[in-house]
Amino acid sequence: MTDPGPSAPPQPGRPPIPEDPTPEDPPAALDADDLELGEQEDEEDDPGAVVEADLEVLVRERDEYLDSLRRLQADFENYRKRMLKRETEQLERAAETLVVSLLDVLDTARLAVDHGGGEAVEQVTTRLFDVLGREGLEVIDPMGDVFDPNLHEAVAHEDGDGAPEVLEVMRTGYAWRGRVLRPAMVKVKGS
């Protein structure tokens, strides 16, 4: 069946289709003065609500800024502590490096004293050990102690009964503030 089009006569049993329907009258337009007046009336009705809303916004912004400030302060404090720790570690490493380079000088001074280097050499050696000892240098002198591979380096061994024991110290060991700089070279007796 084909569409007869808009100008075709109505078919029986069907209502006629209007050719050009007319829209209903549009609602009356509100002019701008009416809108502003309505808003003003709302504001005048409840000025506390506007203040309350503004206050909530300000409180929220304040809390965000305070939170941001606290985080920034904590980050800065952590940074400061990290830098202080790093600086301290760097100074300790520098001091340790200096002491390691002085170990040969200390050995030479001890040998000079042991072979009759005189009272002046003994005084200088004693003074040097005292100063470095106050700063953290410790002598590892394991004579008669049980052998400890963390503190001693065994370069000779003699058979014996029982636990390994240090029989002779061939080179003095040193520790700096609890860390072994150079293990003592020792002769060990025992199994």
Average pLDDT across the chain, whole number: 82
The answer to whether 106 and 181 are in contact (CB under 8 A) is no
Q: Is residue 130 a part of any domain in this protein?
A: no
Q: Which domain holds residue 147?
A: 137-191
Strand blocks (E) in the chain: 137-140, 152-158, 165-171, 173-176, 179-182, 184-189
Q: Is residue 75 a part of any domain in this protein?
A: no
CA–CA separation, 71 and 80 (whole Å): 14
Q: Is residue 149 a part of any domain in this protein?
A: yes
CATH code: domain of residue 161: 2.30.22.10
- Counted domains in the chain: 1
**pLDDT confidence tier of residue 58, bands split at 50, 70 and 90:** very high
Tokens of 29: 């337009």
Q: Is residue 110 a part of any domain in this protein?
A: no
**pLDDT confidence tier of residue 8, bands split at 50, 70 and 90:** low
Q: Is residue 104 a part of any domain in this protein?
A: no
**pLDDT confidence tier of residue 37, bands split at 50, 70 and 90:** very low
Q: Say which range, 14-18, 65-69, 110-114, has the weakest mean pLDDT.
A: 14-18
Tokens of 123: 């005084």
Q: At what angle do helices 32-45 and 47-114 cross, to 10 degrees?
A: 70
Share of residues in the chain with pLDDT > 70 (%): 76
Q: What is the pLDDT of residue 137?
A: 92
On the 0-12 / 13-18 / 19+ scale of CB atoms within 10 A, 190 is middle
Q: Is residue 98 a part of any domain in this protein?
A: no
Is residue 3 pLDDT above 70, yes or no? no
The answer to whether 154 and 169 are in contact (CB under 8 A) is no
10 Cβ contact partners less than 8 Å away, ≥ 6 residues apart: 16, 17
Q: Is residue 159 a part of any domain in this protein?
A: yes
- Higher pLDDT among residues 113 and 77, named by residue: 77
Is residue 32 pLDDT above 90, yes or no? no
Share of residues in the chain with pLDDT > 90 (%): 34
pLDDT average, residue stretch 169-178: 90
CA–CA separation, 30 and 38 (whole Å): 11
Q: What is the pLDDT of residue 91?
A: 92
